[in-house]
């Protein structure tokens, strides 16, 4: 067991934390045009691929707009609109409730549709983005899975999100992948290889589990977060490519482990369960927020710390861990941490399932609330937030340890975390120390192998959309292995070997501008 008192907040650990800066779109375009006008010959006018990520979560509902410069392959945050999901209106008489959040907020199709519509329109208006002229694509996702019996039933929620986007005036064509290059907007076609390289389901060089159905209900969110970690890491020059462990600590936990297969990495591990719900339960019990559905996000920043924390808080961490289950998901499970899972499909696809639960499907949430109240009463708020940071670092490091024990990862793996319960406060420093102690990497090397990215899921929405439009650039790849070149050449050989494309397709692919850049 790690001695938290002596080693948790190691000063030698410098987390690589990525926060993509928010940029005004008109200013972004203006600066690009100025460079185009004033620069030497050879500079091309910038083209931006604009994507809206719409996510209905258990605690927050977000619409995040991103713009990717297709020549530089750099992504920018245009606007972020965040609303508390509990603010969604309650069901009206006669409306059918089709699901609920972890915190028992009942959902109807019309309520979701209206909430998503208003959130999306607010975000577009704040960013001064014209939905018809500027916006290229909308990606919908949800972490709300507690009210569904199977991973497939989550599709009903995705449909409700689509209704909200349509109600906001978004064209249905901006929510489905283009079938041919002719369906790609004219200003993007120069950068698209869709007529030569099909969208085959791989996102940022990784394939989802090869099964008829999903192995976990929030598989899509795990995929988006993994892709977003790859894109966000590029902001600081961090090569976050396969093999990777990606973890997203929203209210629910989702994540993915990939191997180093080429040209496409395979998903060898899926991570699911409860994440941010753990600290939420503690602050609910401490009386800082609503006792039933409040979140750490609502706690005032000044309550989190700033005052010296006396010793003894480490014992609270151990007490909290007793109420959690961090483990390989049992083969007879139908849900874990309230998230529907399919262990049978996972076995068939050779995917190892790792989960985090608060008791059995949240059964110990009341115990965590009582513990939060006790910590505040006996040691105060600074100790409570210190416990939260240490506890979540322990959860994340235990997942890494389980992956090591299962033989899924080695010293060549990169680790990425995103989500409010994984990257805020002093959690990154604590996590780095704990992983260093696992011996996965040479002592002291962990800071160069782990990255923390804010809003990775939204960044991943932009990446997934680019994959659907085949808008990649070999000079700055997201796919492939860490430290290696783009996989385009390997994909061409793969296509030729499998006879997936005609000789004419391959000839065109080999002579395309993108292929020549490689």
Does residue 175 lie within any of the structural domains? Answer: yes
Cα 281 from Cα 269, distance rounded (Å): 27
Does residue 73 lie within any of the structural domains? Answer: yes
Cα 239 from Cα 462, distance rounded (Å): 18
Cα 400 from Cα 107, distance rounded (Å): 34
Residue 512: the pLDDT is 38
Does residue 45 lie within any of the structural domains? Answer: yes
Residue 26: the pLDDT is 86
Strands 206-207 and 265-274: parallel
Please, what is the angle between helix 365-379 and helix 313-321, to 10°? Answer: 170
Supply 440's token pair: 């996965």
Q: Which residues of the chain have pLDDT under 50?
A: 1-7, 36-41, 501-518
Residue 362: the pLDDT is 97
Q: Give the distance, in angstroms, between the CA of residue 324 and the centroid of all CA atoms in the same chain.
A: 23
User: Phi and psi of 79, rounded to 5°?
Assistant: -170, 155
The SS3 call for residue 61 is strand
Does residue 502 lie within any of the structural domains? Answer: no
Residue 12: the pLDDT is 74
- Between the CA of residue 340 and those of 53, 418, 472, 493, 517, what are the distances in Å? 23, 22, 33, 38, 44
Torsion sign (Cα): 144, 244, 51, 79: positive
Does residue 476 lie within any of the structural domains? Answer: no
Per-residue pLDDT tens for 122-175? Answer: 999 999 999 999 999 999 999 898 777 766 677 778 889 999 999 999 999 999
Unique residue bearing structure tokens 């296509």: 495
Residue 304: the pLDDT is 56
**What is the total count of domains within the chain?**
1
Domain of 157: which CATH number? 3.30.420.40
Residue 159: the pLDDT is 86
Cα 45 from Cα 70, distance rounded (Å): 10
Does residue 34 lie within any of the structural domains? Answer: yes
Cα 229 from Cα 244, distance rounded (Å): 10
Torsion sign (Cα): 485, 491, 497, 503: negative
Q: pTM for the complete prediction?
A: 0.90
Residue 490: the pLDDT is 75
Does residue 365 lie within any of the structural domains? Answer: no
Does residue 100 lie within any of the structural domains? Answer: yes
Unique residue bearing structure tokens 């928010």: 22
Residue 322: CB atoms within 10 A of its CB come to 9
HSE of 325 in the Cβ direction (CA atoms, 13 Å)? 20
Domain boundaries, position 179: 18-198
């Amino acid at each position: 067991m790690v001695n938290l008192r002596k080693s948790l907040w190691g000063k030698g650990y410098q987390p690589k934390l990525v926060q993509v800066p928010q940029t005004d779109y008109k200013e972004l375009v203006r600066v690009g045009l100025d460079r185009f006008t004033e620069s030497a010959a050879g500079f091309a006018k910038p083209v931006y691929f604009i994507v809206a990520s719409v996510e209905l979560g258990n605690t927050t509902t977000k619409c995040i707009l991103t713009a990717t410069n297709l020549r530089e392959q750099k992504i920018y945050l245009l606007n972020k609109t965040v609303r508390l999901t509990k603010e969604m209106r309650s069901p009206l008489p006669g409306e059918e409730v089709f699901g609920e959040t972890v915190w028992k907020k009942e959902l109807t199709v019309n309520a979701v549709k209206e909430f998503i519509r208003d959130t999306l329109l607010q975000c577009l208006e704040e960013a001064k983005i014209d939905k018809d002229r500027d916006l290229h694509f909308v990606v919908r996702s949800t972490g709300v899975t507690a009210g569904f019996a199977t991973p497939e039933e989550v599709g009903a929620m995705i449909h409700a999100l689509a209704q909200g986007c349509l109600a906001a005036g978004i064209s249905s064509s901006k929510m489905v992948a283009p079938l041919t290059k002719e369906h790609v907007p004219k200003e993007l076609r120069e950068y698209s290889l869709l007529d030569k390289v099909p969208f085959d389901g791989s996102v940022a060089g990784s394939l989802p589990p090869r099964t008829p159905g999903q192995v976990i209900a929030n598989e899509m969110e795990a995929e988006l977060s993994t892709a977003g970690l790859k894109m966000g890491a590029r902001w600081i020059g961090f090569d976050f490519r396969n093999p990777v462990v990606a973890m997203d600590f929203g209210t629910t936990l989702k994540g993915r482990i990939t191997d180093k297969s080429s040209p496409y990495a395979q998903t060898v591990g899926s991570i699911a369960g409860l994440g941010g719900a753990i600290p939420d339960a503690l602050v609910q019990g401490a009386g800082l927020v609503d006792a039933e559905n409040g979140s750490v996000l609502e706690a005032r920043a000044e309550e989190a710390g700033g005052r010296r924390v006396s010793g003894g808080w480490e014992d609270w961490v151990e007490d909290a861990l007793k109420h959690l289950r961090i483990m390989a998901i049992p083969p007879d499970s139908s849900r874990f941490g309230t998230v529907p899972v399919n262990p049978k499909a996972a076995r068939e696809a050779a995917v190892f399932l790792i989960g985090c639960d608060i008791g059995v499907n949240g059964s110990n949430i009341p115990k965590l609330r009582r513990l939060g109240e006790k910590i505040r009463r006996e040691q105060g708020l600074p100790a409570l937030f210190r416990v939260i940071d240490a506890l979540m670092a322990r959860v994340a490091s235990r997942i890494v340890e389980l992956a090591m024990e299962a033989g899924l990862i080695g010293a060549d793996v990169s680790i990425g975390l995103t989500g409010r319960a994984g990257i805020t406060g002093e959690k990154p420093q604590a996590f780095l120390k704990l992983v260093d102690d696992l011996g996965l990497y040479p002592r002291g090397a962990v800071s160069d192998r782990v990255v923390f990215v804010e809003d990775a899921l939204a960044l991943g929405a932009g990446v997934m959309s680019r994959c659907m439009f085949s808008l990649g650039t070999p000079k700055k790849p997201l796919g492939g292995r860490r430290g290696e070149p783009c996989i385009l050449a390997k994909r061409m050989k793969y296509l030729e070997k499998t006879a997936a494309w005609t000789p004419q397709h391959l000839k065109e692919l080999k002579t395309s501008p993108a292929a020549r850049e490689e």
